[in-house]
Amino acid sequence: MPIDEITATAAGTWTLGNQTVNRMGFGSMRLTADPDPARALAVLRRAVELGVNHIDTAAFYVSPGGTLGVGTGAARYATELIRAALAPYPEELLIATKVGPGYDPESGFTEALTPAQLRAQVEENLRRLGRDHLDLVNLRLYRRPSPVPLADRFGALAELRAAGLIRHLGLSNARPEQLDEARDIAPVVCVQNSYGVDAYREDDEFVRLCGERGIAYVPFFALAGTRREAGAAAEENPAVDAVARAHGVTSHQVRLAWTLHRGPHVLAIPGTGDPGHLVANVAAAGLRLSAEDLARLG
């Protein structure tokens, strides 16, 4: 099958909260870096055409410079790009966002800790996306001690969920004990952590644990690995490269396929601002790795 005919449906589905999504999704972080907003809008529309119905974003996905071209203000926000490209939204589209870190044009990047600050971030997401509720909100945590207990922050989001502003809750950059603490407060439908074939493999057990509990595990930086915001991994991985050659695909497609092979509850959200890369990423949904391939990848 031609690569541009493989859609996100080839990855299978998972029920995220009360909504069934294709396991191959899209991450919007890199869209704000494109100097041409029109291309970002085209990538988002093409993603939906290719069957993507799970888009990940955050109010702090923002490029402070330049002009948006689709709204007001000097900053380019991923949430506003999503609204410009896709509103009115398809009924089957789930948009997941994050709160915790934030961006203010006056003070730059900040962190929301109090219930009032978290509510303000939720309201900002609602405003920029043009919605009356958020499908899924992940509380983005830091691996450093916080002056405000997790229970207070997650509890504030649970109250907004009870008020109807949020449908489902998740955690980002979380540890197993934080998942346990949050689940005592409100249902958690997903954990979103940095994870990949050669990065953060100490979380293998956490991935398995989430599967046992029926919680989606959503790796970010599956392509970038420890390079994180710097972009897709440039260093070679001999095992990944060998599997890619055997299948006649790219190493990035093998990395995404490996992610999906970690379990039916594992979702992929690769991000790109390049239309060609988008097609290749989505096509990884149809790549089936053998037991030998998986053993070679470790």
Burial class of residue 87, CB neighbours in 10 A (0-12, 13-18, 19+): exposed
In sign, the C-alpha dihedral spanning 124, 130, 132, 137 is negative
Helices and strands (DSSP H and E) totals, the chain: 10, 13
pLDDT at 76: 83
Domain count, the chain: 1
pLDDT at 101: 85
Domain containing 222 — which CATH number?
3.20.20.100
| 217 part of the active site | no
pLDDT at 72: 45
Place of tokens 């506003």: 80
Q: 297: closest CA among 262, 249, 268, 270?
A: 262
Q: Which residues pair with 128 in a beta bridge?
A: none
State the first-to-last Cα distance of the chain, in angstroms, to the nearest integer: 29
- What amino acid occupies position 217? Y
Give, for all 298 residues of the chain, the pLDDT tens digit.
Answer: 778 789 999 999 999 999 999 999 999 999 998 888 899 999 999 999 999 999 999 988 988 654 444 444 456 899 999 999 999 999 999 999 999 987 776 766 778 789 999 999 999 999 999 999 999 999 999 877 788 899 999 999 999 999 999 999 999 999 999 999 999 999 999 999 999 999 889 999 999 999 999 999 999 978 854 454 444 455 578 999 999 999 999 999 999 999 999 999 999 999 999 999 999 999 999 999 999 999 999 8
pLDDT at 66: 45
Range of the domain at 185: 3-297
CB proximity list for 104: less than 8 A, separation 6 or greater: 110
From the list 61, 77, 195, 217, the catalytic residue is 61
Give DSSP secondary structure letters for 128-178: HHT-SSEEEEEEE--SS--SS-HHHHHHHHHHHHHTTSEEEEEEES--HHH
The tokens for 178 are: 């934080």
Q: Which residues pair with 56 in a beta bridge?
A: 27, 96
Q: How many CA atoms lie within 13 A of 210 on its CB side?
A: 30
Q: Which residues pair with 15 in a beta bridge?
A: 20
Q: 258: closest CA among 170, 197, 175?
A: 197
Q: 96: closest CA among 179, 178, 26?
A: 26
The whole-model pTM stands at 0.91
Rounded CA separation 194/217 (Å): 10
Instruction: Give yes or no for a contact between 166 and 128, defined as CB atoms under 8 angstroms apart.
Output: no
- Give, in order, the Cα–Cα distances in Å from 91 to each of 20, 85, 87, 207, 270: 11, 15, 11, 29, 22
Rounded CA separation 17/276 (Å): 31
The verdict on whether omega for the bond into residue 88 sits within 30 degrees of 0, i.e. cis, is yes
Sheet bearing 166-172, strands edge to edge = 26-27, 54-56, 94-99, 134-140, 166-172, 190-192, 216-217
pLDDT at 249: 96
79 phi, psi to nearest 5 deg: -65, -35
